[in-house]
Amino acid sequence: MKKTLLISFVLMVAVLTSVLAQVTKTVTGKVTSALDGSPLPGVNVVVKGTTQGVISDVDGKYSIEVPSVGGTLVFSFVGMNTSEVAVGDNATINLAMETDIAQLSEVVVTALGIEREKRSVGYAVTQVGGSQLTNSRETNMVQALAGKVAGVQVMGGGGTPGASSKIILRGNKSFGDNQPLFVIDGIPMDNSTDASNAGDNPYEPTLEQVNYSNRAVDINPNDIESMTVLKGPAAAALYGVRGGNGVIMITTKKGKFGQKTRVDINSSIDFSQVNKLPDLQTTYGQSDGSPQSWGAKNTQAGVNNAEKFFKTGVTTSNDVAITSGTEKNSYRLSVGHLHQDGIIPTTNFSRFTARLTAQSELRKDLTASTTVSFTNSGGRRAQQGSNASGVMLSLLRAPSSFDLLDAYNHPNADGSQNNYWAGYDNTYWSLHHNPFKDNNKRLIGNISLNYTPMDWLKVTYRLGLDNYTDYRRGIYDIGAHNSAEVANGQITENYKRHLEIYSDLIISANKEFTEKIHGSLSLGNNINQRENSDLYSRGRGFSIDNFFNMNNAASFYSSQYDERIRSAAFFYDGNISYNNMLFIGSTGRQEYSSTFGPNRRHFFFASATGSFVFTELEAIKNSNITNFGKLRLSYARSANTPSAYDWIKYPYKQPSFADGYTNGFSLPYLGTNGYGHSNTIGNPDLKPEFTAGPEVGLEVNFLKDRIKADVTYYNQKTTDIILESPASPSSGYTAKLSNAATIVNKGWEISLSGTPVKTKDFDWTIDVNYTRNRNEVTALAKGVSEQELASGFEDARIFAIVGKPYGSIYGTKWQRDSNGKIIVGANGRPLKTTTLYDLGNPYPDFIMGIRNTFTYKDFKLSALLDIHQGGKMWNGTNARLNRFGVSAASASVDRSQMMVVDGVKEDGSKNDIQITPQEYYTYYKGDLGAVEENVQDISWVRLREVSLGYTIRKIKYVQAVDITFTGRNLWLKSNYVGMDPETSLTGAGSNYNGIDWFGMPNTKSYNIALHITL
């Protein structure tokens, strides 16, 4: 019986096997990316309606059994559109999967590099793609953000090579640095803009010298995959005392496992020109015995020295990147070189970059990754600003009867420089004889280990460093007029060194408690050490011409500064969600820092966030109008740290004296050195500057994402701001450090996008961002209602005033009667006040960016309009040009006729006292008049970018060729007199704006770029 049953079973299996062989067949194929043709490993291939499926291998290949009568294969992969393909009679099915833009946009990088679904984030996060940065063709990635993100204000430092760019998120919050923390691949990177400053210089160095670079210029934009802007305290709270000003998260490009080898070649050339200059007159010549132009009419055609001075700048950029991957390893290697010759002769900037990123799967539960980048940047810069050797100062003041270039080519009989005034350097002479060069070498690297012992548990350890040495060398040749001290020649050498070592240990757990409830928790530790050193050396009095060496100097000076900051923190990030609809999160960070006073060694920072995706409600879940909607709410506290050693109560320093007119002096003096107590008392009880407040937002997408809107309102108060408050003179000190000031920032951020037209071959999209921030200083030190932030000019100053925006312009006004008429003195000149008044806010009422993008087949046209409404600037350049009689306005009148200031006499009668045109443009329209006369509105509308691109596909051996023509700043509308108002004399290294004093002009440029993908 058993034998019979066994035989029957064997026969049955044989029959079933035969039947199954007749009703199934094998289908094979390869899955690739439609974007670049690379194979896609890990794609799920499933027979629809069954559980039968396979996963594609490292080469994107698969093999699956399907019913012989056909059926349908379903292909699914993260970040790709799911595709269904009918089998039919096919034995081979190859598929190129399309990118799912909607899926990709749902994942954002948040603090500490943690990726989260965008729908779960309870605060505003904006992600900018790398292509949006590179398409602008800016050398500086910070400048490339201008006009692109709501809540972000970018201020350029001028159009010179390597010029700095300043970025502020949601307004000024501190009397110290107001720029955000930059983090690249999880590691903080320095973005400082440090001037070279001698220890015996009592003045603000950024008002003269050169336009320095902010250190973000060391990053090659072509290496950036994306940039995430964390604007509020809730977004940045996990960075503790370094997140008070927000965070810019940079993610660089990397290889992928199983990726086919890909080569990207980028090459571009850029031509730049001055976009706007002051209008100068060429009718009247130089006055006798004066640098001014109140002389007789020119007997021959006058020279506009500014128009003939600038040249076309040329920038070339070339880089190559190789990306590849195997089943368990991947890498990306890039090398790039940029060289920029400026619009100002002799000026240039170069940047060499090399970056290697690699990752490896050591085991199924352990992966390792590393990034190493090297940058060598620097160039030759020109003197600027309040500087008798400054390029623009001598150039713009030059009389039209004097040709600067001809004078440079024909020096005086004794060989000294030839110029229209002995107190200034000839612009061309200064360029060739007063060079300033810098050379920065930088290494940024990290290593990361990810261990996943269980599918719900992950351990990450990250160790990184940022290290650079910036060597600077400045020369004032014999005969330079910067100051009396440099007349016999000066050489300076400055070594700046920065080192940061940073580590994170993060343990993350994800758990599905029920089908609808999901939770996650991350616990971590951070350790950080930063070191900065500055060694400055100076030699004066050359013995030999053209020998620029310390050994050639007769006198020497040196100063040195070193600091070390250490911090440690423990933190958590917890989140829970219900039904993929309601999300609640909280973060906390306990921070210990050496910058805190010994009595205040640690502080706690926390955030609470909520997100409600109301389109998951059953009543509107399947709406044909609103396909996505989310409410956000958050409250958080972040901070800015005190400076190193502010907590030392009685610091020592070398005494110095300054009178505002000379260079002053300090110890060592005449061979004698010494130290004394600082005039400012330190504070061992110093706390961080806390920024806290609520943020509420609404995100709504309509008509299957054809229309998107994101609206945010915030109200953030920064308290315990550190400042120098007055001290009782009987104490022996003039000031003391204290946590005293308060600043409030509140405003609206709106981002809108829409696709009015979308067809098979043609798309038209519109993106709009709007920023409105209101800033107010609500408190200073007890009994103090105003405090000067920066000095250097006798008239126009920058103040913090209670009840006013931070950084208000402060200066004299005209004396007026009850009807607002200017009161004129007995000499016919208008009378100005003896006290100073608030004259305006240098920051805008609102900023708006409007981008239109048109795509037709393989053509793409994009234009970005940048609108800056409101804001004031003291136009000191125009005021001085009026006084000197070189402005076009000063020659628009008949100089042989007397003039009358429109106003009233001191007795109230209408003014009829005549004065000369020179007096009119000196004491009324010039810089000897009231400051208010030359405080101007800086509103503008500009065509920030316009680009036209074409993609050529499927060439033999080439995946694609992209050709793009780009223009920047091609059109500008502004009532500001003189240069482009998007300028900053003090650059990104200062904490204020609103001063225009012979800084560098801005540029417009034309660029052609080629991108080849192999």
Give the angle subtended at the CA of 485 by the CAs of 484 and 486, to the nearest 5°. 95
Q: What's the confidence (pLDDT) of residue 105?
A: 47
Q: What's the confidence (pLDDT) of residue 1?
A: 45
Q: How far apart are CA 796 and CA 238, in angstroms?
A: 40
Average pLDDT over residues 274-294: 94
Q: How far apart are CA 292 and CA 287, in angstroms?
A: 6
Q: Is the dihedral of CA 893, 895, 900, 906 positive or negative?
A: positive
Identify any residues that bridge with 959 across adjacent strands, giving them in sequence order: none
Number of neighbouring beta carbons within 10 Å of residue 890: 27
Residue 241 identity (one-letter amino acid) = V
Please report which helix (H) or strand (E) contains residue 815, including its range.
none
SS3 at position 585: strand
Q: How far apart are CA 247 and CA 180, in angstroms?
A: 5
- % residues pLDDT > 90 (the chain): 68
Q: How far apart are CA 609 and CA 581, in angstroms?
A: 14
Are 725 and 735 within 8 A, CB to CB?
Answer: yes
Q: What's the confidence (pLDDT) of residue 135?
A: 86
Q: What's the confidence (pLDDT) of residue 21?
A: 42
Q: How far apart are CA 601 and CA 603, in angstroms?
A: 7
Instruction: Tell the CATH topology of 215-647+682-807+842-871+938-1013.
Output: Maltoporin; Chain A (2.40.170)
Over residues 807-819, the pLDDT tens digits come to: 999 999 999 999 9
Average pLDDT over residues 557-572: 94
Over residues 424-457, the pLDDT tens digits come to: 999 999 999 999 999 999 999 999 999 999 989 9
Q: What's the confidence (pLDDT) of residue 906?
A: 95
Q: What's the confidence (pLDDT) of residue 736?
A: 86
Q: What's the confidence (pLDDT) of residue 33?
A: 80
Give the angle subtended at the CA of 720 by the CAs of 717 and 725, to the nearest 5°. 125
Give me 654's structure tokens.
Answer: 């070398």
Q: What's the confidence (pLDDT) of residue 655?
A: 67
- Residue 451 burial (C-beta neighbours within 10 Å; 0-12, 13-18, 19+): middle
DSSP 872-900: EEEEHHHHHHHHHT-BTGGGSS-TTS-B-
Who's near 245: CB < 8 A, 6+ residues apart? 168, 169, 173, 174, 177, 178, 179, 180, 181, 640
CA distances (Å), 352 to each of 314, 315, 318, 333, 356, in order?
A: 17, 14, 10, 14, 14
Give me 202's structure tokens.
Answer: 């009592």
Are 771 and 150 within 8 A, CB to CB?
Answer: yes
Q: What's the confidence (pLDDT) of residue 665?
A: 61
Pick 994 or 101 by higher pLDDT.
994
Q: How far apart are CA 635 and CA 423, in angstroms?
A: 58
- Name the residue ranges covered by the structural domains of the chain: 23-97, 215-647+682-807+842-871+938-1013
Average pLDDT over residues 57-61: 77
Is 23-97 assigned to CATH 3.40.50.10490?
A: no
pLDDT grade, residue 8 (50/70/90)?
A: very low
Give the angle subtended at the CA of 712 by the CAs of 708 and 715, to the nearest 5°. 175
Q: How many helices (H) and strands (E) does the chain have?
A: 10, 53
pLDDT grade, residue 875 (50/70/90)?
A: very high
CA distances (Å), 339 to each of 139, 313, 350, in order?
A: 10, 11, 4
SS3 at position 19: helix
Q: List, in sequence order, every beta strand (DSSP E) within 780-858.
A: 786-790, 797-801, 808-811, 823-824, 837-840, 846-856
Average pLDDT over residues 190-198: 90
Identify any residues that bridge with 182 across adjacent strands, giving them in sequence order: 189, 248
DSSP 375-432: EEEEEEE---SS-TT-HHHHHHH--TT--HHHHHHS--TTS----S-TTS--HHHHHH
Pick 74 or 940 by higher pLDDT.
940
Q: What's the confidence (pLDDT) of residue 424?
A: 94
| Look-up of token digits 């010759």 | 341
pLDDT grade, residue 729 (50/70/90)?
A: confident
Q: How far apart are CA 690 and CA 669, in angstroms?
A: 42
The number of residues in the chain equals: 1014
Q: How far apart are CA 175 and CA 923, in angstroms?
A: 34
Number of neighbouring beta carbons within 10 Å of residue 186: 21
Over residues 610-635, the pLDDT tens digits come to: 999 999 998 888 888 999 999 999 99
Over residues 222-267, the pLDDT tens digits come to: 999 999 999 988 888 889 889 989 999 999 999 998 888 999 999 9
Range of 60-74, 268-282, 971-985 with top mean pLDDT: 268-282
Q: How far apart are CA 156 and CA 868, in angstroms?
A: 14
Pick 458 or 203 by higher pLDDT.
458
Who's near 190: CB < 8 A, 6+ residues apart? 182, 215, 466, 468, 498, 500
Range of 22-31, 523-532, 684-693, 779-788 with top mean pLDDT: 523-532
Average pLDDT, the chain: 90
- In 3D, which of 102, 48, 108 has the Cα closest to residue 78? 102
Over residues 328-387, the pLDDT tens digits come to: 999 999 999 999 999 999 999 999 999 999 999 999 999 999 999 999 999 999 998 888
Q: What's the confidence (pLDDT) of residue 159?
A: 86
Who's near 989: CB < 8 A, 6+ residues apart? 164, 192, 193, 194, 195, 206, 212, 214
Q: Is the pLDDT of residue 904 over 90?
A: yes
